Amino acid sequence: MFHAVNIFNKFKDGDGKFKESLVDDVVGLLSLYEATHLRIHGEEILDEALTFTTTHLESATYRLSLPLVKTVTHALNQQLRKGLPRIEARWWKDLDVPNKLPFVRDRLVEVYFCWSLSVYFQPQYSFARRTLCKVTAIISIIDDVYDAYGTDEELELFTGAIESLRTRGNYIASTMQEKRHYPQDMPSFESKVVTRPEKRAANTSQYMKKQVRGYFDEAKLFRQKHMPSLDEYICELLHEEIWSHKRSDNRTSNQVNNAWKDINEACLYPTAIPMPLLIHILNFARVMDVVYKCEDGYTNAEGGLKDFLVSTLVEPVAL
């Protein structure tokens, strides 16, 4: 019978020892370390991996620089599996957004409510909620960099840096840290979010590259005082931008209505895509309708979205 832990054998050499080459990849070593804390009785390979990763991570703290050394030190003291999820959310506080990035929207609660809880509300999707919250929070920061802060030259350099990235976290850090106001904890972010095989990490990088290219093209169009066509908006911009600039356009309204019909048909008839997955896509569409129908609820934190937050996360449910 095949056991899932057998996948960790690929990290061993011909002598049955963990490969020494792993020692140089601190981000990967940290991910393996966190994974070992999910072990159960009889999984000796994970016991061995825990000893191996602990030894080398402790040794690495003497040569690492911030912010990675802080992440490793914290993980050695408090592992994600054994920590309280809400306390572990201090990764956002460590970014110190209000002081280091005063031009961006500090909206972690709104991000969690809109893009995590509303999409993956079932209890079993806690990992998806945490992951999506982190990804969306970082994307929101990058969005504001393009919309409210960067000059043409800075944005061109930043976009080029992201598009030239390899999938390893250390390279991401070295390129991003050249820009003084951009997030400094990319390695720790990736070590916690990209915990799947490297193929998934490569896919993540490709999507991020497409995202920043879209932001760059949008910023370029507006700086040239060019009002994009509706088709350009659909290809390049997020849904929020459509509602911000084109709310009164009947053609947009018709396309949104047609899109809902497409969604309803996809959910009504059997497809090759499992219904549980389609429901998450449906939830994304629902979020757009609720948050952006009357205003930009994400940006206007004191608007109607606040009432939804309070009623969902603060006020007790009447029984």
Distance from C-alpha of 36 to C-alpha of 95, rounded to nearest angstrom: 27
The yes-or-no answer to whether 1-83 and 85-226 have a common fold is no
Residue 204, token pair as written in the block: 């993540």
CATH number attached to the domain at 85-226 = 1.10.600.10
> 80-89 pLDDT, tens per residue?
777 655 556 6
* pLDDT tops 50 at residue 259: yes
Distance from C-alpha of 171 to C-alpha of 28, rounded to nearest angstrom: 13
Distance from C-alpha of 263 to C-alpha of 42, rounded to nearest angstrom: 46
Contacts of 40 (CB under 8 A, 6+ apart): none
Is this prediction's pTM over 0.85? no
> 156-208 pLDDT, tens per residue?
998 988 888 764 444 434 444 444 434 444 444 444 444 444 445 556 678 88
- Which of the two residues, 224 and 178, has the higher pLDDT score? 224
Cα angle 213, 219, 225 (rounded to 5 degrees) comes to 140
Distance from C-alpha of 34 to C-alpha of 88, rounded to nearest angstrom: 13
**What residue spans define the domains of the chain?**
1-83, 85-226, 238-319
Residue type, 70: K
Instruction: Report the candidate in 119, 109, 120, 39 with the shortest Cα–Cα distance to residue 81.
Output: 39
* Mean pLDDT taken over the chain: 76
Q: What integer is the mean pLDDT of 42-51? A: 88
CATH number attached to the domain at 1-83 = 1.50.10.130
pLDDT value, residue 237: 52
